[in-house]
Structure 1
């Protein structure tokens, strides 16, 4: 699961870099700078949350594996 979060993080980062480079070549970009800044802030919050979600997803997957293993062992004992 963490690799999916990592891929998502990288894709968002790449999209933001592309947006920044396209903003540089834009005529009258000052009209859109406020929206661009708001988007950057929102995406930054999203990226921080994604970074924090990685370890949690790994723990959840490990817990599910343990639970499945415990159920299999219990079924074998019965």
Structure 2
């Protein structure tokens, strides 16, 4: 599951770089800079939360696998 988070992280990073480069060539970009800055801050928070979620998602997947193995073992014994 964490590979999906890292792919999402990479995709967001690529999109933000593309937006930054397109903002450089935009005429009258000062009109949009406030929105751009707000978006950058929101995306930064999202990326930090994604980084924090990656280990938790990995642990959850492992916990689900071990639970399903335990259920199979219990069913085999019963």
The alpha carbon displacement at 1:65 in A equals 0.4
TM-score normalised over the length of structure 2: 0.99
**Equivalent residues in 2 for 1:40-51 (5 A)?**
40-51=40-51
The alpha carbon displacement at 1:19 in A equals 0.2
Give the match's secondary structure for 2:50. helix
Give me the CA root mean square deviation: 0.4
Gaps of 5+ in 2: none
Q: What is the number of equivalent residue pairs in this alignment?
A: 78
* Structure 1 residue ranges (4+ consecutive) displaced by more than 3 angstroms after TM superposition: none
Give the match's secondary structure for 1:11. helix
TM-score normalised over the length of structure 1: 0.99
The alpha carbon displacement at 1:44 in A equals 0.1
The alpha carbon displacement at 1:74 in A equals 0.4
